[in-house]
Amino acid sequence: MDYILSIDQGTTSSRAVVFDRAGQPVAIAQREFAQHFPQPGWVEHDAHEIWQTQLAVMQEALLWAGISAKQLRAIGLTNQRETTVLWDRQTGEPVAPAIVWQDRRTVAHCEALRAAGLADKIARKTGLVLDAYFSGTKLAWLLDHVPGARARAERGELAFGTVDSWLVWKLTGGRVHATDPSNASRTLLFNLKQGAWDPELLAMLRIPKEVLPQVLPSCGVVAETEAALLGVSVSIAGWAGDQQAALFGQACFAPGMAKNTYGTGCFMLMNTGSKPVVSRHRLLSTVAWQGPASSEHARAYALEGSVFMAGATVQWLRDGLQLIQSAPEVEALAASVADTGDVFLVPAFAGLGAPDWDGQARGTLLGMTRGTTRAHIARAALEAIALQTADVFQAMSADSDLLLQELRVDGGACRNNLLMQIQADVLGVSVVRSQVSETTALGAAYLAGLATGFWSGADEISAQWQEERRFEPQWTASQRSERQARWRQAVNRAKKWAV
């Protein structure tokens, strides 16, 4: 049994990756699935389609690797977080479309809870900002709007889960209804310190406890798959939400180690050790992962900061302004000028995420003169990604009282060398790109491999991690502080624009 199969179920596609003992991908299969937008602000998925595409890519990855499921030691699983599925325990049929993490239909519910003075209590218990982003109000909406759902949930006839729970249910033929702490901690229903569902939070959101999954460790054998799916039964032995899995895949095992994933947005997570850190700068506290109590991976926590517009900013240059024909062109265009000419782009097209959390901010382009060219705007776009990340990075340092020495990076946009150099310049620390880019899937594989003895421990995994390239800061401290101060001026101009 020389391989681990990693399930990587994302927001727009289902993927499967086969890893060998060296932590290297042997085969990758991927299928996109439909995004549904039935009303403005609503985003839905078909849970059946998620399952069907995920099963298909699992089978394809084994085929392309030239191996059978008998050669798998275990399966690891990682998933888009917060997306909410509600299904019938008897039939396994979803009672409604899955509500995606991006969906904003429960904003009014969140505002009502805030008006009732509950935001601070929810934040203390969960480590989260009260926002429609998380699963709790999505589940409450389903219970209120699907005919008969609340009564059926109270009778124990319905099951709620994030995508990890849904997939494990399907993989086990409905035998296991469970989640892990990293996903549970994104629901607004999970007490971060106690590591359990919180009765007071359930009462606030009118969620019956009968609908909730069991919370099992992130590292440990969860269940065995139905043999008919892959030919033999395989242990599901490790699972975590996608951003926590990426932190694990980047071998950020020590407090103060941090990673940033550059995708549509940016998600920065920093390991804060065995106790949750209460953020003073509106970052999120979350469970990073949890192993058996006796293991070296007993519950670890992380601080998280979300930037809404990263790669999406470059897509806007391409599709909105049509300054470039393809996303990779932005690097050469931005590199054709030495600086932005004091031009700043604040890409608050969907508001601002951490640490500002301003849903009424709007995109702003400042500082243009007759000498401004599309190259200056392109460079300002890259700087905006890096400067937003720096805001989160500094908030993490202040919250944790930990001196961050470097930032490990992954995601598609980290292949832009100019962006990574700018990132190092504005942070003042090394930015390190890992050799294996599949860090999210790799993190799930590592969790499964540790649980089954495929890898011996953190030391072996850390030894496998290799940097592909390191970017060192070139700006002076005064250059850095001046640029960041000017950036904050621009951000303040963008705030509260849509009031």
> What values do phi and psi take at 268, rounded to 5?
-105, 130
Closest to 125 measured CA to CA, from 205, 66, 56, 71: 205
Grade residue 364 by pLDDT with cuts at 50, 70 and 90: very high
Across the range 232-244, mean pLDDT stands at: 94
Output the 3-class SS for 123-140.
HHHHCCCCCCCCHHHHHH
Give, in degrees to the nearest 5, the angle at Cα 85 between 79 and 90. Answer: 120
Helices (H) and strands (E) in the chain, counts: 17, 23
DSSP structural state of residue 4: E
> pLDDT tens-digit profile of 343-363?
999 998 877 888 887 877 889
Least confident of 41-45, 344-348, 358-362, 409-413: 358-362
What is the average pLDDT value for the chain, to the nearest integer? 91
Write the DSSP assignment of 28-73 as a string of letters: EEEEE---B-SSTT--EE-HHHHHHHHHHHHHHHHHHHT--GGGEE
* Backbone torsions φ then ψ of 214, nearest 5 degrees: -70, 145
Instruction: Find out whether 461 and 497 touch, Cβ atoms under 8 Å.
Output: no
Report residue 412's pLDDT band, with 50, 70 and 90 as the boundaries: confident
pLDDT at 282: 84
- Please tell me the predicted confidence (pLDDT) of residue 79: 94
How confident is the model over 142-171, as pLDDT tens digits?
999 999 999 999 999 999 999 999 999 999
What is the band of 294 on the pLDDT scale with cuts at 50, 70, 90?
very low
Q: What angle do CA 218, 223, 224 make, to 5 degrees?
A: 135
CA–CA distance, 216 with 125 (Å, rounded to integer):
20
Give the global pTM.
Answer: 0.87
**Strand residues in 367-410 grouped as ranges (E):** 406-410
Superfamily for domain range 3-242: ATPase, nucleotide binding domain (3.30.420.40)
Lowest mean pLDDT among 279-283, 374-378, 475-479: 279-283
Q: Looking at 290-372, which runs of residues are DSSP E strands?
A: 300-307, 344-346, 364-366
pLDDT at 161: 95
Q: Which two tokens stand for residue 26?
A: 């042997």
Pairing of strands 196-197, 190-191: antiparallel
Strand 214-215 with 196-197, pairing: unpaired
Tokens coding 351: 């508001």
Q: Is the pLDDT of residue 239 over 90?
A: yes
Strands 84-88 and 158-162 turn out to be antiparallel
Pairing between β-strand 3-9 and β-strand 72-79 as defined by DSSP bridges:
parallel
Give the integer Cα–Cα distance in Å for 103 and 40.
9
What is residue 358's DSSP assignment? B
Gap between the terminal Cα atoms of the chain: 59
Is the separation of the CB atoms in 164 and 239 below 8 Å?
yes
Q: In the structure encoding, which two tokens stand for residue 384, read together?
A: 């905006």
pLDDT band at 297; cut points 50, 70, 90: low
Among 440, 446, 480, smallest CA distance to 463 is for 446
Domain ranges across the chain: 3-242
- Evaluate the omega torsion of the peptide bond into residue 473 and state whether it is cis, within 30 degrees of 0: no
Q: Which has the closest alpha carbon to 154: 72, 206, 210?
A: 210
DSSP, res 255: T
**pLDDT, tens digit (0-9, with 9 covering 90-100), for 417-468:** 999 999 999 999 999 998 887 889 999 999 999 999 899 888 888 898 888 9
